[in-house]
Amino acid sequence: METTLVLIKPGGVSRNLIGEITRRIEARSLKVVGLKLINADRTTVEAHYAEHAERPFFKDVCDYLTSGPIVAIAVEGTNAVKAIRAMMGATNPVEATPGTVRGDFALTIDDNLTHSSSDPEAAARELQLWFPEGTL
C-alpha cells in the first residue's frame, strides 16, 4: 500500500476539473485519504519544487501554483504512486496519451493541470509538506 500526492493546479480548478480528476482517481479504486482546496503559500510551493530551483521554469511554475486556488489530494492504494503518474500522463501534454488527464484536458506544459509525486520518497516528502496534519 502506498500514499501519493496529487495537486490540481490553478488551471484545473478554474476549468472546473476538480470533480473530473477526483472521479477518475476514485474510479480506479484508489482511496482519497486527504482533500483540501487552498491558496498555496509561496514558501510551500518553492519547497515543493526545490529540486527544480535552478531550472529556467522555476519562477514561472511557482507563480502559476500561487496564481489561484489549488486542490491537494492524498491518494492511497496498491502501487498508488505509479498508477497516479500514469493516469496524469506525460509532463508535456502534447506527448501525453489520450485517456490520461493531461492527454485529455491539457495542451501546454506550463498549464498541465496536475502534479503527482514521482516516486515513493518524493510522495512521503510532499505529503508531509502539504498535509502536515496527517491524512486519514
Residue 115 among the catalytic residues: yes
The single residue among 3, 4, 100, 112 that binds ligand CDP, judged by CB under 6 A, is: 112
Within 13 Å of residue 13, how many CA atoms lie on the same side as its CB? 20
| Interface segment toward Mg ion; rule CB under 5 A; list 10-18, 60-68, 73-81, 111-119 | 111-119
Residues 20-59, one symbol each (x = binds ligand CDP by CB under 6 A, - = not), give --------------------------------x----x--
Rounded to the nearest 10 degrees, what angle do helices 80-88 and 18-27 cross at?
Answer: 130
Burial class, 94, CB count within 10 angstroms (exposed 0-12 / middle 13-18 / buried 19+)? exposed
Quote the least distance from Cβ 20 to ligand CDP, whole Å.
Answer: 18
Interaction residues for Mg ion, span 112-131 (CB under 5 A): 118
DSSP letters, 44-63, are HHHHHTGGGTTSTTHHHHHH
Write down the catalytic residue from 6, 72, 115, 116: 115
- Just list the catalytic residues: 115
